Amino acid sequence: MNTPTLFSDLHVAHDWLAGRGLLPPERRSETLPTPLVRLHDGSTVVSFCSNNYLGLNHRPEVKAAATQALHEHTHATSESRRLGGNLGLLGQLEYELAEFKKQPSALITATGLLANIAAVHGILDASELARRWYGSPPPSSHPVVIYDELCHRSIQMGARESSAERVRFRHNDAEQLADILAVYIGRAILVVTEGVFSMDGDMADLPSLVEVCDAHGAVLMVDDAHGTGVYGADGSGTANHFGLTGRVPLQVATLSKAFGGMGGAVLGDERTIAMLRTFSSGYRFTSSLPAEQAAATIAALRILRSEPAVRETLWDNVRRLRTGLARMGIHPPGDGPIVPLHMGTPRAAAKFEELMLDKGYWCVAVTPPAVSPEACRVRLTVSAMHSSEQIDGLLERINDVSSQAPALMGLARSYAG
């Protein structure tokens, strides 16, 4: 039997990439970062790859909460929230998270990716779906979604899942956004950005974006996956950091980063959240978050709120790493725990990862389709769990690699952020 064309196309592409070393194997680890990780080849390395910014999943209180919930409810709900999978613990988590983020209401999804799909597609489509299924009054216009060109894939998935018109604006360019908004004035408009950009580490220009959206009657949504639990005087995220608490009407948070768990959340006003619960794909058509994840995140959130010292340790570590890099003439974009080192090609980024791994440090190469082929980078993420010695060790190794392969570091040095 002949190979179906779809497979043969795929196999040709596979062989082409593999022949050029562009399909690097996924590295397997036997343990989670503490930040020490045992890799499957038996070596132990210090990881600078994890989004687990505060290490809260290693805390005994968090493990105990998860274990108790596991014993009480088992490890899975096997149903969506609307069809019997609506554990009380999920409601409790929603209540505590909404209070923390200072938003009226929250909805928990099984992952952060699903939260973005639920939020973007839900807010754009729910009025029309209500009309189609129940005959409610039709929406006043065909909605449009305008998002930062560097927004996470899940935001783009939510936009594609919706029936809205889709437009992108240049990264963090509030002026261009204002020009685009002027074209769509009078329409139902959603503008989406990230609080902290996951591959670049820089923050959204929220003050300008809030002003421009308010002036044009657009709803601003912030995916605060990397800001929640990290930024702001109270840790509630980037809106708080900029003194804009209460000014960003729709937000997304993931439970997989500062909370060290798994899951996502959409935060907004009560009626919007109620409509998402009824009509959003990322919420309705998938099983709910397991009990132990909800219990663990509640415990982690309580620690995060009651022990600001954990976040202070994170920020001390961020400063130590960034100051050390600055001494080497490297000034990565942003000011937080995501620290990208620009390498250019996929091969250069993979080479840097390999050289660092040889010396016992794991910093992962970011290659297409996460970034464009000429903008590959190594993304370091620092956490509260790293010791000063581990950060100094990383800096020493980066310095060694710089002398060993100076061409590799050229771009990281010249990148102006």
User: Which residue, 101 or 226, is less far from ligand PMP as judged by CB?
Assistant: 226
The 256-295 site mask, x for binding ligand PMP (CB under 6 A), equals: x-------x-------------------------------
Q: According to the binding rule CB under 6 A, does residue 225 interact with ligand PMP?
A: yes
Tokens of 364: 């992962």
What torsion do the CA atoms of 367, 368, 369, 374 make, to the nearest 10 degrees?
A: 120
* 267, amino acid identity: L
The residue written with tokens 């919007």 in the block is 272
Of 128, 194, 202, 205, the residue at the interface with ligand PMP (CB under 6 A) is 194
Q: Which residue is at the shortest CB distance from ligand PMP?
A: 112
Q: Is it true that the peptide bond before 138 is cis, omega within 30 degrees of 0?
A: no
User: Which residue, 154 or 280, is less far from ligand PMP as judged by CB?
Assistant: 154
**Cα 224 from Cα 234, distance rounded (Å):** 14
Q: How many residues bind ligand PMP (CB under 6 A)?
A: 14
Strands 364-366 and 376-381: antiparallel
| DSSP assignment letter at 203 | B
**Stretch in the footprint of ligand PMP (CB under 6 A) among 62-70, 110-118, 141-149, 163-171:** 110-118
Buried b (16+ CB within 10 A) or exposed e, 201-211: bbbbbbeebbb
Instruction: In the chain, count H helices and then E strands.
Output: 15, 13
Q: According to the binding rule CB under 6 A, does residue 103 interact with ligand PMP?
A: no
Q: In what order do the strands lie in the sheet with 250-254?
A: 105-109, 264-268, 250-254, 219-223, 189-194, 144-148, 165-169
Q: According to the binding rule CB under 6 A, does residue 379 interact with ligand PMP?
A: no
Q: According to the binding rule CB under 6 A, does residue 33 interact with ligand PMP?
A: no
Of 35, 55, 85, 112, the residue at the interface with ligand PMP (CB under 6 A) is 112
Tokens of 196: 């902290």
**Stretch in the footprint of ligand PMP (CB under 6 A) among 108-116, 179-187, 232-240, 334-342:** 108-116
Strands 219-223 and 189-194: parallel
**Stretch in the footprint of ligand PMP (CB under 6 A) among 97-105, 111-119, 136-144, 292-300:** 111-119
User: Which residue, 256 or 272, is less far from ligand PMP as judged by CB?
Assistant: 256
Tokens of 178: 């204002």
Q: Nearest approach, Cβ of 264 to ligand PMP (angstroms)? A: 5
**Cα 92 from Cα 99, distance rounded (Å):** 11
User: Which residue, 193 or 272, is less far from ligand PMP as judged by CB?
Assistant: 193
Q: According to the binding rule CB under 6 A, does residue 334 interact with ligand PMP?
A: no
Residue 294's closest CA among 99, 94, 12, 143? 94
**Cα 178 from Cα 153, distance rounded (Å):** 23
Strands 144-148 and 44-47: unpaired
Q: Nearest approach, Cβ of 45 to ligand PMP (angstroms)? A: 21
**Stretch in the footprint of ligand PMP (CB under 6 A) among 94-102, 218-226, 276-284, 362-370:** 218-226
Residues 238-257 binding ligand PMP (CB under 6 A) are: 254, 256
- Residues near ligand PMP (CB under 6 A) are 111-113, 116, 152, 154, 194, 198, 223, 225-226, 254, 256, 264
